[in-house]
Chains A and B, each alone.
Chain A
Amino acid sequence: MDASIRLTVDGTEHVLDVDTRTTLLDALRERLGVTSAKKGCDHGQCGSCTVLLDGRRHLTCLALAVAYDGSEVVTASGLADGEDLHPVQQAFLDHDGYQCGYCTPGQVCSVVGMLDEVKQGHASHVTEDLEAEPDLTDDEIRERLSGNLCRCGAYRGILAATRQAATS
């Protein structure tokens, strides 16, 4: 069964017909040709498909497109203005926070979304004081980014990049 939905992706509005089985990830990749969001597991286990969905980081492989009619999606591609990079992306370059690049767009979106969560005072599993403003320690960063796997093992660079982006 098909359904018509409206999505704004990286600033461009699309009206598209999707199969009601279509995930948001497949709607982006297969229908719209937006391949910045990657498919690493299709089961919500790796984080490669992370985008900013209505401003929050979200796994698109676990979202059915039909449920997000009218939503706004920003991928890593849309975070940059052409070659003008988002500070988080520049920080990834500065600290070599990637190797093969496949998990990277998801990592970048996850960092952007995570920094906003911290700004809003969200606690994490390792936050000691749930009442206070969260202090973005290395442990907090590692914990909050553990939904994004990197098999190349670039976590050290991702941590340094996140620190830089958080303080700039």
Chain B
Amino acid sequence: MTADPVQHTPTPIRVRSVGTRLERVDGLEKVTGRAGYAVEHGADDGFDGALVAWLVTSTVARGRVTSVDTAAAAAHDGVVAVLDHTSAPRLADTDDGELAILQDPQVHFRGQVVALVLAETAESAREAASLVEVSYDVEEHEAELTEEAATYRPDSVNPAFDTDSDTGDVDAALAEAAVVVDEEYRTPHEHNNPMEPHATTAVWRSDGDGEVLDLVDSTQAVHGVASTLAPMLGLEQDQVRVRAPYVGGGFGSKGQPHAHVVAAALAARHVSPRPVRLAVTRQQMFALTGYRTATISRMRLGADADGRLTAIEHRVFEQSSKVKEFAEQTAVPTRMLYAAPNRRTSHRLAMLDVAVPSWMRAPGEMPGVFAHEVAMDELAQACGLDPVELRLRNEPDVDPETGNPWNNRRLPECLHRGAERFGWAGRPAEARATLEGDWWVGTGMAAATYPAYRQGGNAARVTALDGGRYAVAIGAVDIGTGARTVLTQIAADALEVGTDAVDLEVGDTRLPSASVAGGSSGTASWGSTIVAAAQAFRERHGDDPGAGAEVLAEAADDPLGTDVAFHSFGAVFAEARVHRRTGEVRVPRLFGVYSVGRVVNPVTAHSQLVGGLVMGLSAALFEESWRDARFGHVVTQDLASYHVAAHADVRDVDAEWLEESDDAFSPMGARGIGEIGIVGTAAAVVNAAHHATGVRVRSLPVTADHFLGGR
């Protein structure tokens, strides 16, 4: 990349492959296990003779490391080095409290990196790590989230929303409302737990141009890792190469680099030129790789007797870490989901001595819409209205928050279609009306929404090859979403060639800059850029270019800069069965209908939406990271105690979408689909469980004890 990118405004493409089924282009590598993930690269990739790094983490929640006795570890067979805050290479920039590890003796949370061992084998590294003796001056810590402790008002909430909002007079409207719902809803700490633990292979190379840090990382953003690490290591960004050929899931937790990536870089610098492999253990992931904060939502809804909302108030209490602030935008979706003249939202944080929370699939929307949509179910019940009808009565004509017109708000169609396909009609109006054998049976629903994002900072390169083929390059990452496949389709259609004429390259900072695979923005952001590059290429080089003809381009359009509200919508329907003696909850049916713009590939889109529903089901029934405030850590720190949905838990789960094309948003007509499937799902399950039993659960997960009268 030498030339500056061309600025090109993409125009809607003529779809041929886009919208049709195409099997994943990387399927063979995945079903055989030949796909190489972050610590599966050896001599062939320039990582010959790698040492294994093993992290040593703090056993206290707050304090100072007073000494690190490395003698026994260093003497262990096969150990090459033991690094701690006195011996690790220095960082040039230590502003990021989560990432600036091994630079000082402070302990900010239990599970923080306090030392690391480098050894010839994993067995040696692991055993030696257990031999490192760390002594602490222990200080009092705070690790319990309560409403009272959540008093800190952040300047903004993730990523850059207003912390609070206040329109009209909520208190007056509530005082006059015919019906009021005033309840508290809670969601627990949740951990992303992608199947591939966070992992990095690192080596410092010296070539003619100076030092280069070469990483293979399990990340959702190769350029994001490079731009974050480079200044910390005193390097220019192009001195950090990051590759992510295959990533075993992320769900937000690999959206930003976490401390282990810095640990791998420091370790590799210490033993340069030997490479280092560092895989975070499943247990360590619960402290080091981000999580969704627990949330407490105080909801007040006021409505007239017909169920028309007059007031919506959503006050959120949640936590962050003292060492780095992350404010989940839990009440933000409440600002736009339904119409009401009087609205108020707020976010307050408890700043605690705990691990750093971060993105987890649909941050904000997942816990926020849970609270709002269970409250709406309670309102429907209080008004004697069908829950679907209640939502239809509160459709806003314009975005209530901004007054901007909707681009394409099709929530009512999702509701109608979902109700029809699920078989919603004819359900008993009363709860606890159907007993089949030992099982109480009920149905419930919830709305879903997710904003449509297109990120800046993208460029794509199109190069003509011999024989009518094209190389298309962008530093995007396929974390399992199907990006490799759908970007191939988009490139093919934009170039007006077949998908087999496109060689797509992704996952490397040597490729043109790309934004994170996050915020359900990947396909729209990268795809629009590829379309811009392809169209600019055709303008410049025509339909019969010579091999080597090339264009590097950025997309010059900015739909989010217009006064239009771009959001996706959905409706989720669930059947729940609750055992009348044991309280066991099962969900035999879960069905979502979505309006997400044009679906680029029905195969991968269906898997994305169903996967989101499954994760929502998992959150509804199982997931809970239990923090022991006495010690400050999560005690459910493995997959035996942090339960995620297993195969037998997932019954009939299905998703559909409305046929549409959002040409105002992207030249493919697509918005994003990665996150909306998890939104509203837990609420639909809770609402179904209420319909089955008459028991209203207001906290996740919906465990059996809720139905046994003990709570």
User: Hey, which bits of chain A sit against chain B, CB under 8 A?
Assistant: 19, 21-22, 26, 29-30, 33, 35-43, 45-46, 48, 75-77, 79-80, 83, 85, 89, 92-94, 96, 98-105, 108, 139, 141-143, 145-159
Contact = CB atoms under 8 A, between A and B. Distances in A.
Interface stretch (B143-151, B221-229, B243-251, B447-455): B243-251
Contact of B614 (A33, A98, A155): A155
Nearest to B639: A45
Contacts of A154: 607, 611
Interface stretch (B32-40, B502-510, B548-556): B32-40
Nearest to B31: A89
A90 B206 CA distance: 44
A150 to B, nearest CB: 7
Nearest to A26: B122
B646 interface: yes
A122 B675 CA distance: 40
B33 A35 contact: yes
B247 A77 contact: no
Given A19-B121, A39-B279, A151 B194 contact: yes
A100 B123 CA distance: 28
Which A-B residue pairs are the 6 nearest by beta carbons?
A: A100-B480, A36-B33, A102-B248, A153-B614, A101-B30, A105-B33
Contacts of B279: 39
A146 B611 contact: no
B282 A40 contact: yes
A72 B122 CA distance: 23
A108 B123 contact: no
Interface in B246-291: 246-249, 251, 279, 281-282
B29 interface: yes
Given A21-B127, A99-B482, A105 B32 contact: yes
Nearest to B606: A96
Interface in B189-204: 193-197
Contacts of A157: 607
Contacts of A100: 194-196, 246-249, 479-480
Nearest to B249: A100
Contact of B195 (A21, A42, A85, A149): A149
Interface string B599-612: 00001101110111
- Which residue of B32, B281, B603 has the most chain A CB atoms within 10 A of its CB atom? B32
Contact of B31 (A41, A92, A143, A152): A92
B195 A150 contact: yes
Interface in B642-657: 644-651, 653-654
Given A41-B282, A99-B607, A153 B615 contact: yes
A153 B645 contact: yes
Contact of A151 (B35, B127, B481, B644): B644
A96 B618 CA distance: 20
Nearest to B610: A156
A152 B647 contact: no
B639 A41 contact: yes
Contacts of B610: 153, 156
Interface of B: 23-24, 26-37, 40, 42, 52, 121-124, 127, 193-197, 246-249, 251, 279, 281-282, 479-482, 603-604, 606-608, 610-615, 618, 638-640, 644-651, 653-654
A166 to B, nearest CB: 15
B197 A39 contact: yes
B614 A40 contact: no
Given A80-B28, A149-B195, 10 more contacts: A26-B123, A39-B279, A42-B282, A75-B33, A102-B37, A104-B30, A142-B651, A146-B649, A149-B646, A151-B194
Contacts of B27: 92-93, 98
Nearest to B30: A101
A140 to B, nearest CB: 10
Contacts of B281: 42
B650 A19 contact: no
Contacts of B640: 43, 45
- Which residue of A37, A104, A148, A151 has the most chain B CB atoms within 10 A of its CB atom? A151
B121 A43 contact: no
Contacts of B36: 35
Nearest to B35: A101
A43 to B, nearest CB: 6
Nearest to A109: B33
B51 to A, nearest CB: 11
A60 to B, nearest CB: 12
A147 B639 CA distance: 11
B650 A142 contact: yes
B30 A41 contact: no
Contacts of A105: 30-33
B477 to A, nearest CB: 11
A132 B42 CA distance: 50
Contacts of A80: 28, 31-32
A32 B577 CA distance: 49
Nearest to B609: A153
Nearest to A43: B638
B121 A40 contact: no
A104 B24 CA distance: 14
A77 B33 contact: yes
Given A48-B195, A102-B196, A43 B639 contact: yes
B35 to A, nearest CB: 5
A157 B251 CA distance: 20
Contacts of B37: 35, 38, 102
Given A39-B279, A99-B482, A102-B196, A152 B32 contact: no
7 contacts: A19-B123, A46-B639, A80-B28, A98-B24, A98-B31, A108-B33, A153-B614
B644 A93 contact: no
Contacts of A83: 28
Nearest to B29: A101
Contact of B650 (A33, A38, A156): A156
Contacts of B645: 153, 155
Contacts of B28: 80, 83, 85, 93
B613 to A, nearest CB: 7
A99 B52 CA distance: 28
Nearest to B42: A33
A60 B115 CA distance: 29
A93 B608 CA distance: 15
Contact of B282 (A43, A142, A148, A153): A43
Contacts of A77: 32-34
A103 B644 CA distance: 14
Contact of A96 (B24, B615, B639): B24
Nearest to A21: B123
